[in-house]
Structure 1
């Protein structure tokens, strides 16, 4: 049986779309240890409160929590350690220029397995103000009400 080309999403940062406007997304590889990938495959990763930072020409993912693997004993590492992301130098330089602008951040959106490799989808994000969040909630509620009205109308 061949490797699946359909990515299997293992962790998602739903709060990122609530707190940020996502302007651009980029896929990056992730440098992991053996026990970390086993734990990720079990779905024991958390992207909440994590972010990416560019320093000395490399991009790192900070505060991503991967629970220790139960059978990992001494091979387990710190659950929130800094992990290196794998991207082309041109992509890193482009992101570095874009994040220098005021209000931009690099936020992980999804963690998934693609062709046997662990990948993370990084979003170039701009922070939302409170009134933007309220507007998004109002739009979501209005859309839900419209769908409910249409569904009720189709019943009769």
Structure 2
């Protein structure tokens, strides 16, 4: 059997980029049980309520929902258990220093398989306020309108 290569997306937290200013991202491995991996291979997971936390020098992922494996027996996992993340010591030390600033949090952005191994993209983020979200939406809409106007002008000039 050939070894799996490339990157296969399982789940992503689309609203995270809207709700948070992303300062830095990290790729982390996950410590999973067999039934969790099988459930992820079926493409079932939700990152919506998930967050990262550092406890005694280790990084943990909380509230990420990986549903129970349908063919699992008594060995099945609980859906929202906390899962250990695998990171380099230097990255963890960097995170510990940054998280002491107020208002910063760890948010999972994506859950994916990379070369057959489950990975999570964890972001160091600062929560946006309501007016920041509105301003970001306004800027995005202005950019879109400007692009439309430019492309319409180009179409008119070709005729």
Q: TM-score, normalised by structure 1?
A: 0.93
User: Pairwise CA RMSD of aligned residues?
Assistant: 1.3
Deviations 1:14-45 (A, max 9, x none): 11111111011111000111111111111110
Rg comparison, structure with higher value: 2
Shift of residue 127, structure 1, vs aligned partner: 1.1
Unpaired runs of 5+ residues, structure 1, are none
**Structure 1 stretches of 4+ moved >6 Å:** none
**Preserved CA contact (<8 Å) 2:3 2:116:** no
1:135 matches 2:135: yes
Distance 1:149 1:67 in 2: 46
Normalised to the residue count of structure 2, the TM-score between the two structures is 0.91
Indicate the residue corresponding to 1:32 in structure 2. Answer: 32
Q: Quote the residue 1:52 is aligned against.
A: 52
Distance across 2 between alignment mates of 1:47 and 1:111: 8
In structure 2, relative to structure 1, the CA distance for the partners of 1:154 and 1:74 (3 Å cut) is: farther
- Count of residues paired in the alignment: 155
Q: Which residue of 2 aligns with 1:105?
A: 105
Q: Distance between the aligned counterparts of 2:114 and 2:82, measured in 1? A: 22
Q: How does 1:68-83 map to 2 (within 5 A)?
A: 68-83=68-83
Gaps of 5+ in 2: none
